[in-house]
Amino acid sequence: MSTEDIGEVIDFLPNEEVDSERIRQYSVVQESQDFITSLKEYQRIGKDLNRRVKVFSGSALLIGREGTDFLGFAENVALNIEANIVSLRLSQALSKEANIPLVLRTLFEFAARNKPSLIFLEQLEIFAEDTTNKAALLNAQLSRIDWAQDRVVFIGSTTMPRRLDKKIRASVDRTYTFERTTTEDRIRFLEATLAEREDLDPKSVAEATEGWSYSDLRHLVGYFLLRKPGEENQEAPVTLEGKIEAARILPVGQPQMVEAVFKEIEGGYRPQLEDVEEVYPNSLLDQLYLMAVGDNYVRTQEVIENLNKGMPLSADEQQFLNKYPFLLQGEAEDRLTRLLRAKKTRDRLSRVLGR
């Protein structure tokens, strides 16, 4: 492959240009520390570790939902082992479909020439699909990876692990799986990015975005930062859930919600019982709040706000409270949290049920 072709399909990021300040998904970065420790220890021990049987080389497979910050894992590893990041420009690489084997060989050779290097291959299923020649070639390249001797590390990521060749899965040293973002993921990310929006409480936003992916949160933050509080439409929703809904984001981190929306548009959607069970709360008090919100969300909100402020209730509000006396339980913050959670659950159930 010519120098010009290499420049078209390969991205090279020198270690000193890896952004150490980028806000990454916290749980993903924490998981990467395990791999970093293994790499550093292997570098210290060297080839003696594999003298009798090869037990480690320097490769990892990342499996997770759409929107997971796989790049954050690779960047944190590169920063800690002082390696350059070598990756493929997928659009260019895939445009040369007939030359995929050549592209893969070039990728590994380029990394070896520019060591220490970390090869980061996204959408691994494209290059490692089960029982294909591409997978066989990739597996052969992986068998030659050796961090201690050659100073090259491999990290591949996929959201479609079933499509991966079994030999590829067996070849990698470590496999890290990521499900939904954790509460700490969301709080840390939102605290770091929403500092300019004093009207938004990161913990409340984190609660309202349970199940959202890292990329979903990035889009939401982008929406908020492009709309300053004083410039927002006065007719826009004033509740937090209303503000989030106004962002027009279909969270890829909640595949069932996405599927429900698609099927609702296509028509004829019949929800599965399992879909409803996954959304429905387990806590009895949360179920009761859901019942009140389903009956009359606005009235539930008014009663809770007046209770929290110590304001007298109107006759209608008192009648509503008599119907749902559990609203008296708990502290003010707990009531608001459960109200927000119930509203979010009701909205999710509406989507699942196609309403």
Fold held by 182-253: Helicase, Ruva Protein; domain 3 (1.10.8)
Q: Write out pLDDT tens, residues 21-38.
A: 999 999 999 999 999 999
Q: What angle do CA 54, 55, 61 make, to 5 degrees?
A: 115
Q: Write out pLDDT tens, residues 285-319.
A: 888 888 888 888 888 998 999 898 888 888 888 88
The domain limits of the chain are 3-178, 182-253, 254-355
Name the band, by pLDDT with cuts 50, 70 and 90, for residue 234: very low
Q: Write out pLDDT tens, residues 34-61.
A: 999 999 999 888 777 777 777 899 999 9
Neighbours of 315 (CB within 10 A): 7
The secondary element (H helix, E strand) that includes residue 10 is strand 10-13
Residue 235: the pLDDT is: 46
**Highest mean pLDDT out of 197-201, 232-236, 261-265:** 197-201
Q: Write out pLDDT tens, residues 179-216.
A: 889 999 999 999 999 988 888 899 999 988 988 999 99
For 147, 254, 258, 352, the CA distances from 263, given in Å and listed in that order, are 48, 15, 9, 9
**pTM (2 d.p.):** 0.72
Q: What is the DSSP string of 279-343?
A: HS-SSHHHHHHHHHHHHHHHHHHHHHHHHHHTPPPPHHHHHHHHH-GGGGSS-HHHHHHHHHHHH
Question: At which residue do the structure tokens 């910050």 appear?
Answer: 69
Q: Write out pLDDT tens, residues 90-136.
A: 877 777 555 788 888 999 999 999 999 999 999 999 888 877 788 89
With CA atoms as reference, report the closest residue to 127 among 102, 152, 153.
102
Mean pLDDT (whole number) for 137-163: 93
Fold held by 3-178: Rossmann fold (3.40.50)
d(CA 301, CA 321): 11
CA atoms within 13 A on the CB side of 278: 15
